[in-house]
Chain A
Amino acid sequence: MSTFNQALIRVLPSGRKLVIGIPFLWLFLFFMLPFFLVMKISFSEAAVSIPPYSQIYSFVDQKLQVLLNLGNYSLLGADELYISAYLGSLKIALLSTLMCLVIGFPMAYAISKARKEAQNVLLLLIMMPTWTAILIRVYAWMGILSNNGLLNAFLMWSGLTSSPIEILNTNTAVYIGVVYAYLPFMVLPLYANLVKHDQSLLEAASDLGSSNFNNFWKITVPLAKNGIIAGCMLVFIPVVGEFVIPELLGGPETLMIGRVLWQEFFNNRDWPVASALAVVMLAILIIPILLFNRSQAKEMEARA
């Protein structure tokens, strides 16, 4: 290597530090700092000012006074609206994730078994609709599911029902919308995992007399474990906080925490309570993820 390269390497931080440093710095600056801001707001009180919350510290007469308002957090616990909304979100997220898994796994499996050129095409086919904004597609669904929309028109024309079924603005429409929007996010990680499965394992099992059905459940699915977990995480977690889809497709009985948060923030102009809600939401969901990461890390170390 040239002397310039060698000199450069001496000056720059070691590869390992760089690899840890870059993402850490980015996330610290653009996620951690903003999160501290949110925590700060969650301890303040709503006020009529720019920005619409009070300062929590003041430096007067060489005395630093920090005033932490815990009222926002106690409000969250006191009103059962927040808890029911959160449970509602969890329920919808869980069911949608399961539905995406049931529908998405066979799809990903079929794609991973296809010819090489076909695979790329199929993947693009699955992703393409997501590149037209979700709103447009949700509006298309509103047109289909409404009382004189295409679905009802079809059902009545074919004689299956005599009066329109109320689907739009109910929880059913929300499920359809969420599965529709998040299916690609389940298929993609599953595919990325399935495509790297070693075919020889399945062949060996077949040679030893195992049926296809057995192969699938005893070999393919356990090997795909990581893909399944990744896909479920990418669907479940965002759906809990989802706002746009329940807002457009859901009815008044669709109680989700995303909408409640939006209301707190925009309708009540109560940034502190909304921030407190966000902090609580983050805490609830992040702890299982941290524990999961920890166990995974220990597993990796055990293997090494």
Chain B
Amino acid sequence: MKRFGRTLLTLSLLGAMAGGAQADDKVLRVYNWSDYIAPDTLKKFEAETGIHVTYDVFDSNETLEARLLAGKSGYDIVVPSNSFLAKQIKAGVYQPLDKSKLPNWKNLNPVLLKNASASDPDNAHAFPYMWGSIGIGYNPEKVRQTLGTDAPLNSWELLFKPENAEKLKACGISFLDSPTEMLPAALHYLGFPVNSQDKQQIAQAQDVFMKIRPSVAYFHSSKYISDLANGNICVAVGYSGDVLQARARAEEANNGVKIDYSIPKEGAGSFYDMVAIPRDASNVDNAYAFMNFLMRPDIIAEVTNSVGYSNANAAATPLVDEAIRNDPASYPPQEVLATLYAIPDQPITVQRLMTRGWTKVKLGK
């Protein structure tokens, strides 16, 4: 009992000390995705500005959102994906940006900014940090073996046509476990608007998946990376950056598996990870300094080179590694960019419908 009392006393003293320490002005609290920054970005920032960065990481938008929506997250910079950002803006989570404090804004790619503005009207609250597409990662050799040399590698038909899916079943197919990202792909394939709120249309999109459900190995948002690299599956719908990671791994393992990535010609979803400042941030000026820092071509090019995802900074493109810059998976040509749609966010009732329908698809009934 005595020990308990002493411990409590010590802890409250520590708590008080920790509380006092935050009076320091030169701090910045960043909450970003894991493995999403170059090893020396923060060091460079600290060296140039003297601001000490507390850098925490998360692995899913949902975790970030729960913290933000509960209030007082304590962070000054957060990096949500665009569809989540849209909802959070409506809930009043972020403060509008004062563009006069961000002189490097001009470096950003206007086409991508326009796409992202679907979630953030007028790009008022955030700028895109990294972006990617949601397309098809595949093992070209195996697919051609199974479906023949004229397999529709650059079309959603490769997976959504039941005959194709059946043949590929032995080889292994996987989809992302995310109704918000997968159902729009089916909607788009059927010719419906991706942010459709029509129950019938959503049901039809669900049906597309139901028909091919018996041929799908699993629904998972990250397992496919190692499985593609190992040869366990041969076609996966996944994030561009992750499929490229799988490719790099297969090369490293030297196991004869080659991976390719294609953005289907009908169009694919694109996600933008946006950098924003919460309304209750305590170090706003430091946050602006960091944002401006991230918009520098040299800094952001280094991040791309180290994490493999493409950035939304037009001025940085010449500084990016040739291998990445010339890869149509990371830097698609203009025509392909035009076919991409941003992942939409839906009102709660539609969201519930989609999630429930997706559970039915996964259960196979």
Contact = CB atoms under 8 A, between A and B. Distances in A.
Interface of A: 46, 48-52, 79, 81, 146-148, 169, 251-253, 255, 263, 265-270
Given A252-B362, A255-B363, A268-B348, A79 B69 contact: no
B356 interface: yes
A253 B363 CA distance: 5
A48 B89 CA distance: 9
A148 B232 contact: yes
A51 B68 CA distance: 9
Interface of B: 60, 62-63, 65-66, 68-71, 87, 90-93, 179, 218-219, 230, 232, 348, 351-352, 355-356, 359, 362-364
A298 B45 CA distance: 67
Nearest to B217: A169
A266 B66 contact: yes
B218 A148 contact: no
Secondary structure at the A interface, as helix, strand, loop or mixed, is: loop
A48 B363 contact: no
Contacts of B362: 252
Given A252-B362, A263-B359, A268-B355, A50 B93 contact: yes
Contacts of A251: 218
A48 B349 CA distance: 12
Given A46-B348, A81-B356, A253 B364 contact: yes
A252 B91 contact: no
A269 B70 CA distance: 12
B262 to A, nearest CB: 25
Contacts of B71: 50-51
Contacts of B69: 50-52, 269
A81 to B, nearest CB: 7
Contacts of A147: 232
Given A49-B91, A169-B218, A270 B356 contact: no
17 contacts: A50-B71, A51-B69, A51-B71, A52-B91, A79-B356, A148-B230, A252-B363, A252-B364, A253-B363, A266-B63, A267-B351, A268-B348, A268-B352, A269-B65, A269-B87, A269-B348, A270-B352
- Please list the 10 inter-chain residue pairs (A to B) with the smallest Cβ-Cβ separation, ordered nearest first: A266-B62, A252-B362, A48-B90, A52-B69, A48-B91, A267-B355, A49-B91, A268-B352, A46-B348, A268-B355
Contacts of B90: 48
Nearest to A255: B363
Contacts of A269: 65, 69, 87, 348, 351
Secondary structure at the B interface, as helix, strand, loop or mixed, is: helix
Given A81-B356, A266-B65, A270-B348, 19 more contacts: A46-B348, A48-B87, A48-B348, A50-B70, A50-B71, A79-B356, A81-B359, A251-B218, A253-B363, A263-B359, A267-B62, A267-B351, A268-B348, A268-B351, A268-B355, A269-B87, A269-B348, A269-B351, A270-B352
A50 B230 contact: no
A255 B360 CA distance: 11
Contacts of A267: 62, 179, 351, 355
A251 B90 CA distance: 35
B93 A263 contact: no
A252 B92 contact: no
A155 B281 CA distance: 56
A122 B91 CA distance: 54
A217 to B, nearest CB: 41
A151 to B, nearest CB: 15
A270 B87 CA distance: 13
A147 B364 CA distance: 22
B352 A49 contact: no
Contact of B91 (A50, A148, A255, A263): A50
Contacts of A270: 348, 352
Contacts of A146: 232
B218 A252 contact: yes
A269 B352 CA distance: 9
Nearest to B180: A267
Contacts of B355: 263, 267-268
Nearest to A49: B91
A255 B365 CA distance: 13
